[in-house]
Structure 1
């Protein structure tokens, strides 16, 4: 049987057509043609005509929904920084970041557009700037950090007030203007007799691979700049690179009459901050540390004569930028499950003394920026009601951490807490709240061993009462015989 499907009826669309005519004076005059004139279009023709319009809408939506996680604002001292520090900037572009290089005091600078941040990362290579341009200032940068942005700051001996104030907001203190880190024992032969062209041993670097990477060559670093003082008891600060024990920080143009601000290994050269919201900041006192000159230089210590084919500056910066921008040291919780042993679904509430299975899956980023299972031997689980009642180190396999625990003989509102803080990694916190109730009257044991003496006492009383009653009721004394 053949079915004949009629063709769809044409759709009639009324279009007001604008016709132009020319007035006698030469000016065009627009008149509206009779709106009753109609253009008849079939559905296929109508759909084809909408394709350009749909494409235009999609393009417009794509422009509005731009991913800013790869956008980097670079504020420079002057435009020549783009040439003298081109290798440092290339570290960013090689990893797929979009860099916007602007002079730090340029008018019109802003971090936001229509109330949203247009940059995820800010790099400041302007040590002596006296005031930032546009809407950018220290308070705006601190707010940017509080909102989850990442900041890199490079200073020098010619440090300005904004950079010093920004460091103070993050818990570090740059030494005074015109000061420099001096070491009379470890300096390069290219030094100008001021002993500020320092050769810093590779061992002075923080040994945390997730932040500074792992180097096989162990090359020293070249440093020339201001010293940094950091509070050693601040848990948010991380010392990345410190000076040698023979160094100190002081003004080059003054004789040493006072105790220096920082001395020996307390003189920090690079300091990092990981805030409680997992935003990150890095401060260095040397703009030259990032320069092409220091990246490509060969090293020869003036006193010992030791020679090295290169410096570790570029390698350290590459690893440090990966960590700063969140490409390494990231942790996330994929899934959490808990239930009674032998069951598969989490109950609405637990009972005291239950045996409970808890598992959490954790992932981290690898060198290819991919999420992979995170394996460590120090992830702990706490069962908390105000204070922890149970704390256990969990077993793990392929990023899945698990533990079986017996709930305490205490009822209330408890929490399964995994609060993981490790140097270089983001703070990982997982909290699951569960109620724990006491036994119902049908769940208690009928006989308790500790109560056996009471059971015997009660039974003996009953038996004694029965015997006494029997004797009292049925015992009769013999009557006395009469004479």
Structure 2
């Protein structure tokens, strides 16, 4: 008995410790930050303070820590990982690119920042996600869009908000604010055939990626023009999210606070780095753009009852509640482009659902075809988690007592039948009651 009580107390303490890292709505915020050196914690303190203010439970570790691990006894210790250690050739402890890939496959989120030197561990992980960094010692160069504080190599570029992906759910108000971004780092390229990748911020048409120490270009640049990726993200099929930023300085205090003066004389009191960095982190760590479906109902429109099966030509109603996770709270989803399909191998009905404060509803008539059908919602929009819902129902044909007694299209047959009956009656009457007169013979 004492042993049983001890076990119960231990389980209770474990559950309490677990729940302490999870907010009231069930969104875990355990975050591991891997650093090249502890000085980055100070040079990027404004960024980390933003994360702390948002309720993240941050653990800082060196990327070559011999005790480094993200999984223990088959359970992941963190839900989110930030890698601000671009030069690390090999992670310490039990962490490597394969472990990071498995972490993403299990639903974890990762944010990676690069620099002019990228270690093998980061390159391998990026390659698994469809991202390729340029060669070491390369940098994004733009001779037409650079800051006046540049060292003469034009690697401190000014990225225009016009080159930002028009997806407010990911970039927040950064595009509307119109503030340019400071960027000093390496360029990336993505797999164009991968539909899961999104190009968040690209260079201008005059940008390219090359070694700034070389006076002349002996080879074609790694990336050219707007194919030069500065920021890219991946949302996996399991809705795990990975972000790649080619510049570690992008998140620094200096770039957050720095004013911008471009080479063509335009001035801005502040860069847009902080707004974009915070919005991007919120999205990558699933503080925004997460959807859920609940309270799925379907019933007859006439009496609002849910039968064991539907019959062809029934008028039915399908409703579902959509919620969106926004900064720790589930809020009603306001989207008006959610479609419902009534499917039996192929869709027989496709209709846009009406949104009433997050309560989505659609009304339609069951097609004149019986079989096994599904109510299917397959909602996949940029910036939102992929939401798929399928509810199976059966559709029966009409019973023998439910068919119409007289079908309009059969009236010609009705007329022909009754006309035949009338004709037969007249013919019988004539045969029975008509008698020919026999002419009398003339008397001889």
- TM-score, normalised to structure 1, is 0.84
Aligned to 2:16: 62
Aligned to 1:298: 259
Give the Cα separation in 2 of the matches to 1:151 and 1:55.
Answer: 35
Secondary structure of the residue aligned to 2:122 is helix
Aligned to 1:9: none
Aligned to 1:272: 233
Q: Report Cα offsets for 1:301-325 as digits up to 9, x if no partner.
A: 2x21222222111111111111111
Please say if 1:191 is aligned against 2:145. no
Please say if 1:91 is aligned against 2:45. no
Give the Cα separation in 2 of the matches to 1:159 and 1:201.
Answer: 25
Please say if 1:429 is aligned against 2:357. no
Aligned counterparts, 1:59-138, within 5 A: 59=13, 61-63=15-17, 67=21, 69-138=28-97
Give the Cα separation in 1 of the matches to 2:266 and 2:178.
Answer: 14
Give the Cα separation in 1 of the matches to 2:18 and 2:180.
Answer: 46
Match of 1:330 among 290, 308, 312: 290
Q: Report Cα offsets for 1:70-96 as digits up to 9, x if no partner.
A: 211111112222222222222221211
Give the Cα separation in 2 of the matches to 1:99 and 1:206.
Answer: 29
Give the Cα separation in 1 of the matches to 2:73 and 2:8.
Answer: 25
Match of 2:304 among 316, 334, 344: 344
Aligned counterparts, 1:167-246, within 5 A: 167-215=126-174, 217-246=177-206
- TM-score, normalised to structure 2, is 0.91
Higher RCO structure (Cα 8 Å, ≥6 apart) = 2
The answer on whether the counterparts of 2:134 and 2:222 sit within 8 Å (CA) in structure 1 is yes
Do the aligned partners of residues 281 and 444 (structure 1) sit closer, same or farther apart at CA in structure 2, a change above 3 Å counting?
A: same
Match of 1:317 among 237, 254, 277: 277
The answer on whether the counterparts of 2:143 and 2:206 sit within 8 Å (CA) in structure 1 is yes
Q: Report Cα offsets for 1:216-262 as digits up to 9, x if no partner.
A: 65322111111011234532111211111111011223321332221
Please say if 1:366 is aligned against 2:326. yes
Aligned to 1:262: 223
1:144 CA displacement: 0.6
Do the aligned partners of residues 361 and 60 (structure 1) sit closer, same or farther apart at CA in structure 2, a change above 3 Å counting?
A: closer
Secondary structure of the residue aligned to 1:163 is helix
Aligned to 2:25: none
1:52 CA displacement: 11
Q: What is the root-mean-square deviation of aligned Cα atoms in Å?
A: 2.3
Across the two proteins, how many residue pairs are aligned to each other? 433
The answer on whether the counterparts of 2:173 and 2:275 sit within 8 Å (CA) in structure 1 is no
1:64 CA displacement: 6.0
Give the Cα separation in 2 of the matches to 1:477 and 1:221.
Answer: 114
Give the Cα separation in 2 of the matches to 1:71 and 1:396.
Answer: 34
The answer on whether the counterparts of 2:29 and 2:57 sit within 8 Å (CA) in structure 1 is yes
Stretch deviating more after TM superposition (199-208 or 70-79) = 199-208
Aligned to 2:268: 308
Give the Cα separation in 2 of the matches to 1:251 and 1:477.
Answer: 122
Please say if 1:454 is aligned against 2:408. no
**Based on CA coordinates, which of the two structures has the bigger radius of gyration?**
1
1:464 CA displacement: 2.4
Question: Which ranges in structure 2 are unaligned for 5 or more consecutive residues?
Answer: 23-27
Secondary structure of the residue aligned to 2:424 is helix
Give the Cα separation in 1 of the matches to 2:300 and 2:14.
Answer: 52
Aligned to 1:153: 112
Please say if 1:251 is aligned against 2:211. yes
